Chains A and B, each alone.
Chain A
Amino acid sequence: MRRLALLIGWSLREPAPWRVGFLLFVVLLFTLVGGVARPGGTTAGAALAASLAFTATLAVGTSYPFIFPLVSVLVTLAIVTQRRSGGLAALQAQGLRRWEILTAHSLAVFLMALIPAFLAFLVLPFIVEPALVGQGQLGLLYPPEYWIAMPRLFMATLFTVLFASTFAILIRNPAVAFGAMVTFFFVGWYLREPLRPYGSLTPPGAFQRAYFYAFSNPEGLPFLAADFYVVYLVVAIVAFLLALLYASRRGEML
């Protein structure tokens, strides 16, 4: 674990990916502010809480087409390009194992996407209700519903990072790897509309509905659509582990 943490620290010290992270922060903030949901609730406090929570929930769907290309760029820079330039081989020469290097780079990318997303969520309430900032009532700006809604986007980000890393590990050519991961995510995105009302079974739809049982279940489904995100997370984890296993067995991988 100490070696993994050390490797993640090294990756996070690279300035170039943080520029992509900054872009992700800006895009997410615009997406969130531009899509503040109309609140429901009998009191102003409940209305604000519902508005923030619903905005954070809907943000999964609206920001997904921005998140996956940027995550794909980060993963390509962190794994495929590094492998080509000999960066990963240099780390291997330091005595680090292949699975440690690849896992650390993937987790570092996840943090580089997670931190800007989290910061965007922290900034949003200040823009949504600036009057409360002047009154110093910061507690009202961060209701429990808002914190509960946030992880949907983080899980969607984890899903994209794991799948993008799988492609990056298996495909050695940067252009082909980037093309493959972006195409894969685009398919999930574009299937939402033609699959209606089963669009909630695509990755962006599933993570938007994650543990949100207030949405009505699509007719004829033998399971709850609100639980379907678990399938995607498990599949992404399994795919990533299989890719790691493949990379560890293949000697010339790095």
Chain B
Amino acid sequence: MNLGRIVRGISLVLLLMTVASFAIASGVFIRDFSGVGFGGSIVLDPRATFTEHLYVYELTYDLGVFSTVNVTTVVEAAYSDWTVSFQSNGSLLTTFRPPLPGVLTLTFTNQEDRRGELGYNVLQGPDLPPELETSLLNPALTTTLGLLVASVVLFALGPRVKGGKAA
């Protein structure tokens, strides 16, 4: 049995485990640090419509709409049939979760015959409690680093090991 070949095989398996572990850590990165959200405030003319585009992951988002008039809010996926709509005449706090990642269109429509002010906010909410995600990050990164080092060491040792004896 060629021990060198086995060592090289193990180094490849460890490299794949490194990638998987880094994938987990990246997911935590994405949820913890990116897509913190955005918002804005505008003046809506009577019966007027305001449209905004945003990119979303397949995660839960918090939506806040604050207006001085009756407003309809429609959230729809740009390239699929998924749509949700809300009606509010003051403060609205709700959540939505798109079935697929992609570009969403947010449409606010003033339902009254008078001008009104509108403020809105979209925040990316974590699917797991934030404390759990943060507590996952360091172990995942440490595991990734350890696996990477082990893989590189074994990969370097591979050519030096032949048939169970060091060459």
Contact = CB atoms under 8 A, between A and B. Distances in A.
Given A34-B29, A44-B79, A127 B54 contact: no
Interface stretch (A129-137, A163-171, A187-195, A204-212): A129-137
A130 B103 contact: no
A199 B81 CA distance: 43
Interface stretch (A35-43, A92-100, A144-152, A177-185): A35-43
B8 to A, nearest CB: 9
Contacts, number: 70
Interface residues of A, number: 30
B102 A38 contact: no
A34 B53 contact: no
Q: By DSSP majority rule, is chain B's interface helix, strand, loop, or mixed? A: mixed
Interface in B19-46: 19, 22-23, 26, 29-30, 34, 38
B53 A135 contact: no
A51 B29 contact: no
A48 interface: yes
Nearest to B31: A34
Which among A22, A44, A127, A132 has the greatest number of chain B C-beta atoms within 10 A?
Answer: A44
A203 B130 CA distance: 35
Contacts of B23: 26, 30
B53 A47 contact: yes
B139 interface: no
A131 B54 contact: no
B120 to A, nearest CB: 14
A128 interface: yes
Contact of A130 (B19, B22, B51, B101): B101
A39 B53 contact: yes
Interface string A110-139: 000000000000000001111110010100
A13 interface: no
Nearest to B23: A30
Interface in A25-65: 26-27, 30, 33-42, 44, 47-48, 51
A38 B55 contact: yes
A10 B4 CA distance: 23
B55 A131 contact: no
B63 interface: no
Contacts of A38: 38, 54-55
A23 interface: yes
A232 to B, nearest CB: 28
A30 B79 contact: no
A19 interface: yes
Contacts of B22: 26-27, 30
B26 A131 contact: no
A132 B78 CA distance: 10
Contacts of A33: 30
Nearest to A47: B53
B103 to A, nearest CB: 5
B15 interface: yes
B29 A131 contact: no
A91 B123 CA distance: 59
A19 B13 CA distance: 11
A47 B52 CA distance: 10
19 contacts: A19-B155, A23-B19, A33-B30, A37-B55, A38-B38, A38-B54, A38-B55, A39-B55, A44-B78, A44-B79, A47-B53, A47-B55, A48-B78, A51-B55, A128-B101, A129-B79, A131-B102, A137-B79, A140-B79
Return the 6 tightest CB-CB contacts between A and B, nearest first: A44-B78, A47-B53, A131-B79, A131-B80, A30-B26, A34-B30
Given A44-B78, A48-B103, A130-B102, 8 more contacts: A30-B26, A34-B34, A36-B57, A39-B54, A51-B103, A128-B55, A128-B101, A132-B79
